[in-house]
Every structure is written in structure tokens, then in C-alpha cells.
Structure 1
């Protein structure tokens, strides 16, 4: 080569090669072998282009962890050059871990392969990271006001979704299973009932904005053993797992409450209450007695609370001027009382217990056969019976009266004979 330079176009990357350099020219002889310079070098190996496993566009939630992984490792690569939006990062391994993602974490991440001798890959891999963040909470309003339910009220639940991220939220799905011990009444905001789950699809929220969705349920009358109507809503962005709702701020339902709690609880006021009355039938079909008839008393106990009553204890002292004949419905004569100790009554249901007495023949000076039963639910004091409704014995009568009176028809009659 007479130009003073030598271009080497045939070599094997990674394999050492040696070249001897000498000088010769007009009126000179070729450089002696001992004066020649030997150059030895190893041609660098350009590593293969990297590939990052997973999608080219990632969506991450605020506070989450994102892992970008070169896989497989390209041939000839020993380290990697990572950058965000063109700014080099310190990481040189095949794994870039982004912990506790913030809005500032969003951007374009690139990576190139680097060989042992510092050669950099021709191509690079790019991954775009989008950061989204949302807060989901739920408030409620009870028909008629108040902060607890007793049964029969309507509860309107309002689900609030706030976009805390830097980008818009699009095509989110909000789901809310209908709470136990309620029935669905209505849905607002375009939601549907999908097998007991109130669902809204295609929900979009601008950055720093909040949207709401609501539905209304009616609380069951029977709340036996229930201390709260509990409900949890969920939001899904199509990428990450469902995010459950948290309670609303107790002082301002337009703001989220305690982020360490999940779901919303509507307290239940447990009510044990009943009404007790007594009806009767006379064996003659009359509404009065003259003596010698059998009277069947029926004690009615209607559960007007929201808790099942079990056991329900009923006691009824035998009326004066009568004698015991029999008792049904598990009753028994204990001393001078007919006692029922195994009754139970569900919410809104009326339990009955009956017994039969025979009216004495001698009713001298007696104007009525009077009787009062008492019932006990284990929570409240004994409740005395009131009369039945005169027009319908299956309903209670005047609540200001106590006891049941059967009028006595006085009969003065004699038969005279002579022997």
C-alpha cells in the first residue's frame, strides 16, 4: 500500500490480528525487519439489538412497580444502556425496575446492548410508559335521612372515580355487586344489572377530574343478625387488577376517606319488637258464655321488628271461673299457667298458640271471663296482650286496651217439682 494508509476489510470479530508496518521508497531500501512496527488488535464485536419482553406501551398505576426486562439476552451483549426520553440512566443490567411509579415516571424508555469491549448495538428497543392513577370511593344517602337503617328504607350509593394521573382515563369499567340484604331499585348513569352486579363500561375521566355513578337499593325488612349493609365497588382499567373502593370522607362525601379501609358500611339499627293480642271462639258459636261451654283462646304474636325472635316465650294464666282442657302448639300447663317456650317468629310473620278451657257452670256475680296473656322476646319486658280486632281476629285491636273479655250472659232459671 503506497498511500500511507491501510484499510482492512476482511477480519473476524473477536479474533486478534497482527500487522507489520515497514517503510520503503525512492532512494531508500525497505525497512529492516528489526525496525518494523507490529500492530496487534482484536476487532470489536457489535452486539445484537435488544428486545424488551412485553408490550411496547405499558400502563402503570401510581405507586406501582414496573419492570422492563431485556429477554432474550442478545448475542455479544454484556451490559446495557438505558435512557428515559433520551437522558441516560444509571442502570446497566438487563432489568430496569421502576419502583413507586409517579406521574414523572411516564415517558419513553430506550435500551441498547453493549459488548465487553464497549461496542454498542446498532438498533435499540423503545417502551412507552403511561402512568395512570385513580381513587375510587363510595358515599350513601338514606331515604328519610339518618346514617343507619332499620329495614324498608332506600339507600342511594354514589361511586366517585377521581383521575389522579397525568393522562386521561378512558374506557374504564366500574362494577358494584348489589349488597346483601337489599334489592335493586334503580340505576343511574347508563349502568346495567349483570347477574346481580351493577356495571358501567366505557368510563372516561380527564386528569384531576372526578366522575360519579349511582344506584339505589331497598333494604330488606328482615335484618336478623345483620349489623351493617356492606358494599364494595371495583374499577378496572383493562390492564391492572380490580381496584376496590374505599369509604367516603365522613365529613365530606365528595372526598375520599381512609385509604387503608375497603368498602362502605351502612350501620343497621337492630330492632326487636312485636305486638301481642288474643282472640277467642266459643263452642256454641256465640260471642258470650252462659256456663259449661268450651272456649278456645288463640294468642297472636306479630314480629314488627327487623330481628327474628327465637325463642318466643308466651304465658297465659288460666282465666278465673274456668278449668283447663288442652293446649296446642307445644303449650303445657305449668301450675296455673299455660306456657309456650319453643315458639319462634320471623320478621313480619305472626305466630299463634292456642289452648282450650271449660267455663264453670256457676257464674254467680261474674260479668265477664277476663284473660291476659304475656309474651317475652328476650330483649324487652313482658308484653301484655291486647284485644283482637272485632272485625278480624287475625289483626290486633285497640292498642290502648289490655286483655280479652268474654261477656257472661246471666241466667236465672229454676225448675220446681214436688214429690
Structure 2
């Protein structure tokens, strides 16, 4: 990709009353200054690196407001500071050359996708030589202010929704802690405590292997010549999230027809990853038959719980608890690059099984809490789509804001 291909604007396409010109006519990217961990003294002023705030210091280098642009590492990342700050040597800070609105410049620089310049030039990091020649689109100051106000409102709505999501997740975490260690409130008086779990004394204690069939999935690359085959969807570790599945990109695989029945996923199966990164050990959830037919990778465990025992809908939430994660992390094998757990340790996973009625009540409460989390996540996704639309339309002049009337 050439530098010209990174340009979002061309001087011949300027909206009425706007100027399209190299950003060096409006601002200059200045180098930050090194400030090692040993040199930092905790204070009120933020210290910024290329990926955002990395600490605080008791003095500042640049007066507020300020814009920072990632130079190394998170190349082209844009950050805004409302307080005086210290930019370290992995970032540029913006020196404004005129009277452009600071917030408008912040949004404009973000829209320009300066990170593409890293790939365009082949030089690691973002160079001023290239960045300064990127074209920006600049309306008059009054319109800049109105555009920045609208976009800031969108950012504030996203922040408010993210705070609501944090609160909803905390409620869900607290509810899981209560239900899986104390049961339905007010129902139990006696409790047992083990190395891995605490639970009501009336719940049945057993290992996962006693009430389920646990199997790993399909290994690709086998010789299939001479066999009748079928092509089916193939679920891999990257598709398995915590309590959910990302099914946007599903691979296809060819398997022996004779093996297909034993490999197919069913509604009600629990899927767990054997590992990779530490946070992937034991990660998974309840499969609802979203894709059929579908088989699964050999790095995924399929847990098929026996009817009339621990309900898959409840086990789905159990996997998300700190207690379950602690068991899997503690039994995983760590190498230089991988953290994995074997089927033997999964089979030994200790369970305390509530009565069927109590399981149903727990599932209802946890599902309602989970629905609230999903609803807020959906709200955030809508707000991000709205902001992307606003950026595209307002910063290009496709949609013009109405300026306040002059008295």
C-alpha cells in the first residue's frame, strides 16, 4: 500500500466552506520525552504511552488540553487528555498551529487511521514525515465545535453504557458467588468447605466423570482415501468464548461418514477448551445446536451430562465462576508457550449438585442476570455503530450540523 492509498480526503472533494489540506498546515506532531518507571513519582498528572495512560507523575511536560498519537507499539492510536500530562518517547503529542477546536482535531486524527501508515511505508512505527502529509478536512471553527460536541455526546453515551455493563457484570458475578456457594438465599443452614468449593451440605458431592461422558474432538489431516466422507461445520478453539460462541467465521472439514455420528454436537452439550493462553483453560459454555451438522476440534472437550443429574444450563454458569476457573488453572500444565489441562483432570472436576427444583430456580435467576448483560452489550454495539456513522458523515461533510443562529 502506497502513502497515497492511505489518504481519506482529496482537495478536489472539499465540502462547501471546508478546506482540505495536509494536516501539517494545522498541527505538528512533537516527540514525547522518556520517563522511566524509576524516574516517575506518583502524582496528579497522567503519563501517556502509545496505548494510553501508563501511570502518573508529579509534574507535567505539556499543558492541557492535549492530543497524543501512538508512535511505536500501538501505532496511530489517538488519545485525549483534559489534564496537563507527560508524553513518553513512544508517542507524539500535538502542537496546534492555529485555533482549530481541540476535540475536533482529536476526532479528525482518529478518523484518518494513521496506523495504516506503518504498513504503507514498511518502517516500524509512525514517522512524522509521512503523517504530516496526510490530508485532513477542516470546516470553519463554529462547525468544528458543533461536530466535536455531537461526537463527544456519542462518546459519553458509550461510557455510560460501559459503566452500566460493568455494574451488570458485577451483579452477575455476585449472584453466581451466592448461588454456587450458598444456594438459594434462606434455604440452607449447613455448609461444607473443600479445597476447591464451598456449598450447602445437602447438595450431592461427586466428580464430573461420574455423571457425564467427556470426549475430545476431531483431528484434521488424516488420510480419508477409500472412505465415504461428509463435509460439515468445524468448531475450533477460536470460536469458543466464555459463556458464548463466536460463529461469525466457521471452518469446514471433511470427516469419515462412519465417524460422523460420534463427532456431532448436540443441543445441550457443554464445550470447554483445553487451553492455549491461560485465560482459555476450561473456557466454554452450553451449545444450543446453533449450527447443524457440526463437529469440534481436538483441543475442545465435549461434556455430555447424564439426564437427571447436573443440568447443562446450570453447568454453563458454573464454568464462569471463580471457583471453577481456579480449579482448571491450578491443574493446568504450563510450558513456555502453552497452558493446557488434560481430560483426566477435567473428569476429576468436583461438583456439588443441588436438587432439581433448586437447579431450576438458580438457572432462572442466572439467566435473567445474563440477559441483562447481553442487553447492555447490545446497547453498546448499537452506540458504536452510531458513532462510526457520525464520524463518517460529520467529518466528511456528508451531513452538516446546524450552527446556532447569530442574534
Tell me the TM-score normalized by structure 2. Answer: 0.22
Say which structure, 1 or 2, has more relative contact order (CA 8 Å, 6+ apart).
2
Looking at secondary structure, tell me which structure has more strand per residue.
1
Q: Look at both structures and tell me which one has the larger radius of gyration over its CA atoms.
A: 1
TM-score by length of 1: 0.22
